[in-house]
Amino acid sequence: MDSDSVSGNTVAQIGPAAGGAGAADSPQRQGRWRRYHAAVNGLTEYWYPASLAKTVRRKKKHVQRIASHDILFIFDNDKFFAVINECPHRLVPLSLGSLEFPGHIACGYHGWVFDLASGNLVAALSDGPDSPVVGKACVRTFPVEERAGVLWVWVGEGKPVPVEHDIPEELLRPNAVIFPLLRQVKGNWRYAGENGFDEAHVKVLHRTALWTFFRGIAAWNTTRITTSDDGKWINRFQEAVHLDDDYPGIGRWPKAKFWQRANSGKPRTVYGSSDHCVSIRLPCMLRVKQPGTADWTHYDWYTPVDADNYLYLALAVSWRRNPLKIFAWWFRFWSYILVIHHYWFNGQDLHIVGAMPESSPVRMFRPDVSIFAWRKLVEEYAREPNRPQKTLPPNRDFMTLDRDKAA
């Protein structure tokens, strides 16, 4: 299936319908999306947000599963560490141990002591100071960094890239005022990405959300998907927006309420321009520039936990220095954005993704060009261990890149 079969009038198929556990490995589901289906537990060669830094500072020890690795995050001696949560002696969780020796963790079962930086076994307390097992065992360590109030962990096999490569530059600006919300939820991270970038779902799923109560939502539109100026994102723009329309045999839809229209008769939400743009980048980040005068941007991360769960990190971000404007942004977030946008509006997405089985659309329709684009991004541009990363050319039509190369 090529991009024409999605963006044109042909009704195509991304892949056969799946039926239950293990469907991602079925021979019928390989082929076009081989890497995408193999990444059910995550793409490894990336930095992932794993926890809020303040959580680990407060608890000192915090366990979080990332890409099928049970990782123990530790705050000790004013530093963050990450090790596999398993003692190699009897496989007891190291999280049950103690931090009585600075820079080390002692297993709570037999007292094997591991250096947090290197992972090496430096003592076996119950075997005496001269234990011959010392230096002959170790635990895996993971690179961990703190940025923007979040702990980022590298679970890849290759040499880590600088963490800044996987964090949008604008989040690291000194005037970025960030409010995070982190939850572990049901569903697979890939389908969370599909849902976030999906063109059509907002028009139906979110029509009942209080966040859209005063906003007009279009019935349908055509879609343009481009690469960003910096070549790190793909952007989804709405074009040829139809606010409502006549559907043969059933009538006109949707029936807009009078409070959803401004004096001009047009909906309050701005359509069809860069003022409202949805973007996605690897490994699993979504960015939604809020339209009109909202003056803030919403970010989502879908960190893989395992095949059936993911961490959902939502960031509400505004850039301002004036203390009064910072307070106004704080008040807006805590008074309505947190509940109405994060818990209600985004909660609808979390519910749907959690209910979605391992599957592809059985039959595609034109708005699925956005799902095709996300899968194409993962399939063709995701990093591989110790190999140069394939880069996106800036400011191009993403769906015609292969065709342009052939020409």
For 144-173, what is each residue's pLDDT tens digit? 999 999 999 999 998 999 999 999 999 999
**Number of folded domains that form the chain:** 2
Is residue 7 included in any domain, yes or no? no
Q: Which of the pair, 189 or 3, is modelled with greater confidence? A: 189
**What is the band of 24 on the pLDDT scale with cuts at 50, 70, 90?**
very low
Mean pLDDT computed over every residue of the chain: 86
Residues 271 and 377 in one domain: yes
Q: Which of the pair, 318 or 388, is modelled with greater confidence? A: 318
Is residue 27 included in any domain, yes or no? no
Lowest-confidence range among 17-21, 252-256, 352-356, 367-371?
17-21
What local confidence, expressed as pLDDT, does residue 17 receive? 39
pLDDT(25) > 80: no
Residues 251 and 125 in one domain: no
* CA–centroid distance for 389 within its chain: 19
Residues 125 and 54 in one domain: yes
Residues 225 and 286 in one domain: yes
What local confidence, expressed as pLDDT, does residue 195 receive? 95
pLDDT(26) > 50: no
Which of the 8 DSSP states describes residue 260?
G
pLDDT(372) > 70: yes
Residues 89 and 181 in one domain: no
Structure tokens belonging to residue 67: 């890409």
Is residue 249 included in any domain, yes or no? yes
Cα radius of gyration (the chain): 24
Which domain-ending residue is among 154, 182, 205?
154
Q: Give the integer Cα–Cα distance in Å for 291 and 48.
A: 28
Residues 140 and 192 in one domain: no
Determine phi and psi for 230, rounding to 5 degrees: -90, 0
Is residue 159 included in any domain, yes or no? no
Residues 78 and 194 in one domain: no
Residues 237 and 361 in one domain: yes
pTM for this model (two decimals): 0.87
Residues 277 and 214 in one domain: yes
Is residue 29 included in any domain, yes or no? no
Could you give the C-alpha distances from 313 to 62, 181, 212, in angstroms and in order? Answer: 17, 6, 22
Q: What is the CATH number of the domain that holds 357?
A: 3.90.380.10
CB hemisphere CA count around 89 (13 angstroms): 20
What local confidence, expressed as pLDDT, does residue 239 receive? 81
Is residue 271 included in any domain, yes or no? yes
pLDDT(196) > 80: yes
For residue 62, give its domain range.
47-154
What local confidence, expressed as pLDDT, does residue 8 receive? 47
pLDDT(213) > 60: yes
**282-315 pLDDT, tens digit each:** 999 999 988 767 789 999 999 999 999 999 999 9
Residues 78 and 141 in one domain: yes
Contact 292, 277 (CB under 8 A): no
Could you give the C-alpha distances from 186 to 59, 127, 304, 351, 390, in angstroms and in order? Answer: 25, 44, 11, 8, 31
Q: What is the CATH number of the domain that holds 116?
A: 2.102.10.10
Is residue 35 included in any domain, yes or no? no
Structure tokens belonging to residue 367: 């708005």
Helix (H) or strand (E) holding 151: strand 150-154
Residues 146 and 195 in one domain: no
Residues 273 and 201 in one domain: yes
Is residue 197 included in any domain, yes or no? yes
